[in-house]
């Protein structure tokens, strides 16, 4: 079914949000801790050797003496603070493989966030992911190491936009991709991720659905369902840069190469791909098929993280970096745990409404 209509953003937006008043409340509650030694020595080398084993195929030996003292200090601080680290698939290998307690895509992290038995959650990802963790864990302290880690999709739409859409299409349910602010989730009927978007759209039993805010994901879902989709013109600045032409050139150079793409990519990219799926779907596809050479048409760090796990698979470029994900670094994670920065807070009334939409997705029967 083709897209019924695609609507444009109508408001100018600023992102990231200003830190809310009381952002230093977490520091008052937990107190600061002294900076540990960050010296590289034989003891640090010994204690982190098992972690270097996990990343040695993607982290050069010469770089490990910089990372290892931070890795050791962060892992010790997690215990001291009773904290857990959630890391998205797009985090760099030393974060993803060496300090994270839980890794995955947005849906996996949202689910893990509901199970954690910890006082503090450090979200190594972008701001909307930290908000989702806070929405599902209102009694826990949620930190993001850099408050400016935003997202072009999340900043493409506001709660006002959703209210206007509801006025224009009364009675049409609103499905919102998790890559949105808490305010936008609060205005939605149900959330979805790229791995369950089709299931969520069809679960509503509606003839028409407003699907926000990713235009390309909306087009991909529209191509797979009879439900009429009303879309929004939001794009991921990382995935929209790929083109079908560049991938055709890669395939011409090696006809045996496998191309797998994220559904946030433009339709001409998806048309060239052998498989289209969420980040977790792409990882599972590579694990099961073990292709000799593969292009992962998504954020670069994901290929590095899968390559660390499956060194026999060759990952062929192109890939694009997400500048927001790359704001999260080991020194900032350490600072976050030492000085309780930056706390993510949400207006309780907005959080309660957003929680309904997120929980409806999380508990949808699969």
Contacting residues toward ligand SF4, per CB under 6 A: 126, 151-153, 179, 236-238, 299, 322, 324-325
Min dist. Cβ of residue 190 to ligand SF4 (A): 19
Whose Cβ is closer to ligand SF4: residue 179's or residue 278's?
Answer: 179
Which residues in the chain belong to E strands, given as ranges? Answer: 5-7, 83-88, 102-104, 120-124, 141-143, 174-177, 190-192, 208-212, 228-232, 258-261, 275-276, 293-297, 314-315
Alpha-carbon distance of 92 to 41, in angstroms, equals 24
- Cβ-based nearer residue to ligand SF4, 48 or 156: 156
For the bound state, the minimum distance from the C-beta of residue 124 to ligand SF4, rounded and expressed in Å, comes to 12
Alpha-carbon distance values, 194 to 142, 156, 170 (Å): 24, 17, 26
> 138-151 b/e with 16+ CB inside 10 Å = b?
eebbbbbbbbebbb
> What is the smallest separation between the CB atom of 262 and ligand SF4, expressed in angstroms?
9
Query: Which of 298, 246, 362, 305 has its CA nearest to residue 94?
Result: 305
> From the CB of 300, what's the least distance to ligand SF4, in Å?
10
- Residue 48 or 279: the one with the smaller Cβ distance to ligand SF4 is 279
- What is the distance between the alpha carbons of residues 110 and 329, in angstroms, rounded to a whole number? 21
Q: Which is nearer to ligand SF4, 107 or 338 (CB)?
A: 107
How many other CB atoms are found less than 10 A from the CB of residue 80? 10
CB of 237 to ligand SF4, least distance (A): 5
Residue placing its CB nearer to ligand SF4 in the complex, 69 or 145: 145
């Amino acid at each position: 079914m083709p897209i019924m209509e695609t609507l444009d953003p109508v408001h100018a937006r600023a992102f990231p949000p200003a830190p809310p008043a009381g952002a230093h409340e977490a520091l008052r509650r937990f107190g600061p801790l002294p900076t540990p030694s960050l010296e590289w020595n034989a003891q640090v080398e010994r204690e982190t050797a098992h972690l270097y084993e996990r990343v040695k195929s993607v982290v050069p030996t010469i770089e490990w003496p910089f990372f290892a003292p931070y890795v050791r200090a962060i892992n010790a601080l997690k215990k001291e603070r009773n904290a857990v680290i959630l890391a998205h698939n797009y985090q760099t290998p030393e974060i993803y493989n060496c300090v994270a307690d839980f890794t995955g895509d947005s849906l996996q992290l949202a689910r893990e966030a509901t199970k954690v038995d910890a006082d503090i959650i450090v979200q190594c990802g972008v701001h909307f992911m930290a908000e989702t963790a806070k929405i599902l864990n209102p009694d826990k302290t949620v930190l993001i190491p850099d408050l400016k880690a935003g997202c072009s999709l999340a900043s493409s739409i506001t709660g006002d936009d959703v209210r206007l859409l509801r006025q224009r299409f009364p009675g049409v349910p609103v499905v919102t991709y998790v890559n949105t602010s808490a305010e936008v989730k609060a205005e939605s009927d149900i959330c979805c991720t790229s791995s369950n978007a089709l299931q969520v759209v069809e679960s509503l039993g509606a003839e028409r659905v407003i699907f926000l805010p990713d235009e390309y994901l909306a087009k991909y879902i529209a191509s797979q369902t009879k439900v009429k989709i009303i879309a929004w013109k939001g794009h991921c600045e990382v995935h929209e840069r790929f083109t079908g032409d560049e991938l055709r050139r890669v395939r011409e150079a090696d006809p045996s190469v496998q191309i797998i793409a994220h559904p946030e990519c433009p339709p001409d990219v998806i048309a060239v791909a052998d498989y289209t799926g969420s980040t977790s779907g792409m990882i599972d596809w590579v694990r099961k098929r073990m292709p000799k050479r593969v292009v992962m048409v998504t954020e670069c760090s994901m290929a590095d993280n899968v390559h660390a796990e499956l060194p026999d698979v060759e990952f062929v470029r192109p890939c694009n970096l997400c500048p927001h994900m790359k704001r999260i670094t080991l020194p900032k994670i350490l600072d976050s745990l030492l000085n309780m920065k930056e706390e993510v807070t949400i207006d309780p009334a907005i959080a309660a409404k957003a929680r309904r939409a997120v929980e409806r997705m999380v508990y949808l029967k699969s």
